[in-house]
């Protein structure tokens, strides 16, 4: 909307409409590219209408590349090439030139390339003269020295024609071999590590791209902004993270470059990566200082409110349409067989009832999670990745609980359910607990397991998990140094207390029932805690 408004206001100042390099506009661009030189006038620099070219760069897709920053440059070149067309960019590489700044207050945007025109006219004149001499030698009778004329005509035509053919060959070469392919060929070379001129070649490609964008600004009569959104950088190796940030700083080193970089990263992950590399020499190994000097507009996303968290949860639940797929597909298959008069394969005994019961419980769990009046909704995390993990884990957990309830070899479930299966709300709360506080929950489960092994108590199952955790929290505090990475996964400790002590007072019996179906809790954390606890007591 803002771009349309600026476009309209610009038309009031300049009645000439913006042009696009398509259709007739493509022929205009090629003609201007070949015989005219663009000029940056004062009126052009004052233009407010903009065209944005958005490029999404996922660092994870290029994580296998030796130089991740080279992937950034190839993505930039490839998107610009596809946006404006390969032909226009290829001709620019051969005939184009960077716009020059106008002298004074002239509004003349295009200046004839007199040198190029003279060269082309001279080549065509030589070609015409050579062909004419050749035709005279071949067709006009009575000429004594026709052999010498043939040689002269052929030589003149060959020289002029070869020059024109050489230019066409260069255009065809750039048309077939893209900038992305050139850089990929350099990175795939066996001598890549020893190629001292690699950076200069990449800089040359970027410089040519900047000149092309400046030409297109003058041709289209609007300013251009190339917006690169860099994501998934916090899942790459530290040296690759530093390489991408250095590439961003390199591309932004030109003050006239029309680039806008949007870094969608988690500073708590990026800063340690930068501090592990050698790119912070002179900055006291301070990753935050490096980011402050690199990022010109920091925007830390505010914490989600209750309504925003529910909307995020709703969006994540909409991806779970596959819950109904099996029953719908079975009904469609049986109707198709019935319509054709074929034999209808019977459904497995009790399958529909079991699956519909599972889906009923899954939908009930999601309803409790999405209900703003339910205390459980207050513990929905604000991180989208954690929300998706919870939404994907709840169906698996409930199906495992149902499966265990149907196994006669398993212990009975939680009292109160006719089938001995925990309530969907309790299962959803347990999944949220395991996702939000994996370290503290693992410590409570570790202490519960050790208490059951050392001195079994008859009423141990009735004790609350919070009382067990509170009784052994001092020991966890003593082990916080070896467990610091695991402790950093937990959310607010006061929320953990409110969750277990007030809203969802799970007991030891509940924990034993849920533990075999808990798939979103890393059991190696509990094992590591057992080893540390045993060494501490040795």
Only one residue has tokens 């890393």, namely 522
Question: How far is Cα 259 from Cα 79, in angstroms, rounded to an integer?
Answer: 13
Residues 6+ apart with CB under 8 A from 58: 231, 232
- Contacts of residue 448, defined as CB under 8 A and 6 or more positions apart, other chains included, come to 460, 465, 468, 508, 511, 512
Residue 323 lies in a domain: yes
Per-residue model confidence as pLDDT tens digits over 79-134: 888 888 888 888 888 887 788 887 777 778 888 888 777 877 777 777 777 777 66
Residue 191 has pLDDT above 70, yes or no: no
Query: What is the rounded CA–CA span in Å between residue 172 and residue 505?
Result: 73
What pLDDT score does 440 carry? 93
Question: What pLDDT, on the 0 to 100 scale, is given for residue 96?
Answer: 79
Highest averaged pLDDT of the listed ranges 64-73, 110-119, 280-289, 520-529: 520-529
Q: In sequence order, what are the beta bridge partners of 531? A: none
Measured distance CA(272)–CA(127) in Å, rounded? 66
Q: Is the pLDDT of residue 136 over 80?
A: no
Neighbouring-strand partners of residue 227: 54, 260
Measured in whole angstroms, the distance separating CA 134 from the mean position of its chain's CA atoms is 62
pLDDT higher than threshold 60 for residue 234: yes
More confident residue, 206 or 186: 206
Please provide the size of the chain in residues: 538
CA-based max dimension of the chain = 128
- In a domain, residue 43? The reply is no
Give how far the C-alpha of residue 57 lies from the chain's centroid of Cα atoms, to the nearest Å: 5
Distance of CA 310 to the CA centre of its chain: 24
Q: Is residue 330 part of a domain?
A: yes
* 389-403: average pLDDT: 89
Q: Which two tokens stand for residue 339?
A: 């319509």
Contacts of 387 (CB under 8 A, 6+ apart): 309, 312, 313, 316, 380, 381
Tell which residue, 225, 186, 183, 176, has the closest CA to residue 73.
183
What average pLDDT is seen over the chain? 78
Q: For position 434, what pLDDT does the model report?
A: 93
Containing structural domain, residue 332: 307-408+418-537
Percent of the chain at pLDDT exceeding 70: 75
Burial of 396 (0-12, 13-18, 19+ CB in 10 A): middle
**99, 215 Cβ separation under 8 angstroms:** yes
* C-alpha span between 242 and 247 (Å, rounded): 9
Give, in degrees to the nearest 5, the angle at Cα 485 between 284 and 246. Answer: 40
Copy the structure tokens of residue 303. Answer: 């914490």
For residue 230, pLDDT over 80 is answered with: yes
- How many separate domains does the chain show? 1
Token digits of residue 187? 């990175």
Whether residue 265 lies inside any domain: the answer is no
Pairing of strands 223-231, 50-58: parallel
179 part of a folded domain: no
Residue 152: strand, helix, or coil? helix
Helix (H, G, I), strand (E, B) or coil at 20: coil
For residue 464, give the 3-state DSSP assignment. strand
Establish if 107 belongs to a structural domain. Answer: no
Instruction: Reply yes or no on whether the pLDDT at 29 is more than 70.
Output: yes
* Model confidence pLDDT, tens digit, residues 469-485: 999 888 888 888 888 88
Q: What DSSP assignment string belongs to 221-232? A: TSEEEEEEEEE-
- Beta carbons within 10 angstroms of residue 374's beta carbon: 16
71: pLDDT strictly greater than 70: yes
Q: Is residue 260 situated within a structural domain?
A: no
Q: CA–CA separation, 416 vs 223, rounded Å?
A: 68
CA distance 445 to 105: 78
Which pLDDT tens digit goes with each residue over 320-378? 665 544 544 555 565 566 666 655 555 444 545 556 788 888 888 888 888 888 899 88
Other CB atoms within 10 Å distance of the CB of residue 466:
20
Q: How far apart are CA 197 and CA 311, in angstroms?
A: 51
Does residue 163 lie within any of the structural domains?
no
In tens, the pLDDT along 409-461 reads: 445 444 334 456 889 999 999 999 999 999 999 999 998 888 877 666 666 77
**206, 228 Cβ separation under 8 angstroms:** no
What's the CA gap between 85 and 212, in Å, rounded?
Answer: 12
| Whole-angstrom distance, CA of residue 3 vs CA of residue 395 | 45
| Number of H-type helices and E-type strands within the chain | 24, 6
Secondary structure of residue 495 in the 3-state scheme = helix
How far, rounded to the nearest angstrom, does the alpha carbon of residue 526 sit from its chain's CA centroid? 34
């Amino acid at each position: 909307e803002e771009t349309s408004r600026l476009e309209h206001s610009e038309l009031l100042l300049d009645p000439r409409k913006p042009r696009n390099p398509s259709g007739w506009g493509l022929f205009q661009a090629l003609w201007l590219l070949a015989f005219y030189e663009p000029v940056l006038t004062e009126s052009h620099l004052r233009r407010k209408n903009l065209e944005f070219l958005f490029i999404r760069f996922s660092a994870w897709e290029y994580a296998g590349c030796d130089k991740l920053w080279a992937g950034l440059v190839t993505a930039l070149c490839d998107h610009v090439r596809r946006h404006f067309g390969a032909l226009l960019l290829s001709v620019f590489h051969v005939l184009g030139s960077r716009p020059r700044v106008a002298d004074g207050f002239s509004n003349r945007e295009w200046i004839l390339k007199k040198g190029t025109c003279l060269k082309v006219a001279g080549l065509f004149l030589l070609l015409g003269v050579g062909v004419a001499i050749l035709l005279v030698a071949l067709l006009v009778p009575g000429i004594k020295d026709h052999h010498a004329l043939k040689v002269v005509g052929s030589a003149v035509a060959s020289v002029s024609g070869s020059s024109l053919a050489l230019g066409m060959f260069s255009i065809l070469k750039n048309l077939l071999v893209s900038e992305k392919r050139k850089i990929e060929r350099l990175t795939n070379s066996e001598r890549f590590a020893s190629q001292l001129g690699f950076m200069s070649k990449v800089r040359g490609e970027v410089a040519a791209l900047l000149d092309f964008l400046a030409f297109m600004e003058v041709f289209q009569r609007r300013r251009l902004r190339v917006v690169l959104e860099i994501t998934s950088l916090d899942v790459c190796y530290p040296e690759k993270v530093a390489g991408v940030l250095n590439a961003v700083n390199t591309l932004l080193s030109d003050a006239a470059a029309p680039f806008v970089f949007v870094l969608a990263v988690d500073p708590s992950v990026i800063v340690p990566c930068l501090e592990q590399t050698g790119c912070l020499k002179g900055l006291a190994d301070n990753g935050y200082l490096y980011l402050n000097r690199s990022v010109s507009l920091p925007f830390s996303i505010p914490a989600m409110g209750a309504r925003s968290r529910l909307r995020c949860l709703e969006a994540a639940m909409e991806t779970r349409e596959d819950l109904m797929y099996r029953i719908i597909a079975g009904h469609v298959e049986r109707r198709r067989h019935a319509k054709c008069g074929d034999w209808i394969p019977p459904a497995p005994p009790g399958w529909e009832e079991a699956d519909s019961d599972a889906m009923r419980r899954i939908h009930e769990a999601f309803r409790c999670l999405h209900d703003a009046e339910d205390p459980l909704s207050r513990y929905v995390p604000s991180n989208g990745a954690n929300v998706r993990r919870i939404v994907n884990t709840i169906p698996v957990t409930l199906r495992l609980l149902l499966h265990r309830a149907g196994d006669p070899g398993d212990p009975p479930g939680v009292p109160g359910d006719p089938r001995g299966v925990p309530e969907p709300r309790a299962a959803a709360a347990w999944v949220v607990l395991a996702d939000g506080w994996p370290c503290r929950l693992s410590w409570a489960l570790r202490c519960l397991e050790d208490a059951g092994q050392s001195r079994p108590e008859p009423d141990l199952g009735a004790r609350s998990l919070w009382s067990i955790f509170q009784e052994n929290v001092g020991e966890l505090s003593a082990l916080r140094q070896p467990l610091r990475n695991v402790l950093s996964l937990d959310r607010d400790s006061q929320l953990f207390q409110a969750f277990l002590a007030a809203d969802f007072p799970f007991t030891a019996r509940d924990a034993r029932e849920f533990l075999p179906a808990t798939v979103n809790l890393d059991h190696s954390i509990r094992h590591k805690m057992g080893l540390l606890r045993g060494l501490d007591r040795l």
